[in-house]
A and B are shown apart, each in its own frame.
Chain A
Amino acid sequence: DQQVKQNSPSLSVQEGRISILNCDYTNSMFDYFLWYKKYPAEGPTFLISISSIKDKNEDGRFTVFLNKSAKHLSLHIVPSQPGDSAVYFCAASESGGSQGNLIFGKGTKLSVKP
């Protein structure tokens, strides 16, 4: 049973527009959420995170929104650029991740078209 779900395997967006990637989770004990970006043949690269005490975190073109009641988070990329084309993974952990392991979704492949 997947605890972190990314229901859209792929997303295609025009350059300059907004990309919205969604993630749902089932474990109410999760209190730290991260987004990773992955290019082919490379390891995941940390993008942005949010703790459960916040509902929004912004870093440049990237904003993550957290809706705890709905157990839903989303990543907004504005404006989207062709270099953003990659697979995006949502991940979650419990208790601030002090034990360590992240639970990942299956990923969403974003394609940004020029």
Chain B
Amino acid sequence: GAGVSQSPRYKVAKRGQDVALRCDPISGHVSLFWYQQALGQGPEFLTYFQNEAQLDKSGLPSDRFFAERPEGSVSTLKIQRTQQEDSAVYLCASGASGIYNEQFFGPGTRLTVL
């Protein structure tokens, strides 16, 4: 497919479990972003990659959150020891390099922590 894909689409975790969320960006897109969207809110920035380099992780809420993009393509967002407040939709977006930053979003992974 031509768009951004994410898996799984839905994830239910017990509190304390570790989860891994995958993002496949649009082929050739240099930039990759992760956002967290809580219910009734807009997406909030978590972290940004340019190719394999994580250039900004200022939005990660705690050290339980970790993201990687080792080969500059697929990215994984890992949450360790999940807590109820981690329940949200996690959105991945990719963009081509350039001055103006139009980002293309995937469908998101809805994480529910029980």
> Which residues of A are interface residues toward B (Cβ below 8 A)?
4, 6, 32, 34, 36, 41-46, 49, 51, 89, 91, 93, 96-107
Contact = CB atoms under 8 A, between A and B. Distances in A.
B42 interface: yes
Contacts of B41: 106-107
A104 B36 CA distance: 11
Chain B interface size band reads 20 to 34
Contacts of A32: 100-101
A45 B6 CA distance: 15
Nearest to B42: A104
Contacts, number: 71
Given A34-B102, A96-B100, 18 more contacts: A32-B100, A41-B107, A42-B107, A42-B108, A43-B4, A43-B105, A43-B107, A46-B103, A49-B100, A93-B101, A96-B101, A97-B101, A98-B99, A98-B101, A100-B33, A101-B56, A102-B45, A102-B103
Contact of A100 (B40, B43, B91, B101): B101
B42 A106 contact: yes
A46 B56 CA distance: 23
Interface in B26-52: 31, 33, 35, 40-45, 48, 50
Which of A36, A43, A91, A106: most chain B Cβ within 10 A? A43
A49 B6 CA distance: 25
B106 interface: yes
Which of B35, B91, B102, B106: most chain A Cβ within 10 A? B102
A89 to B, nearest CB: 5
A89 B43 contact: yes
A35 to B, nearest CB: 11
Interface in B55-114: 55-56, 59, 91, 93, 95, 99-108
Contacts of A51: 100
Given A43-B107, A99-B48, A99-B56, A104 B100 contact: no
What 5 A-B pairs come out closest when comparing CB atoms?
A97-B101, A104-B42, A43-B105, A101-B45, A100-B48
B4 A101 contact: no
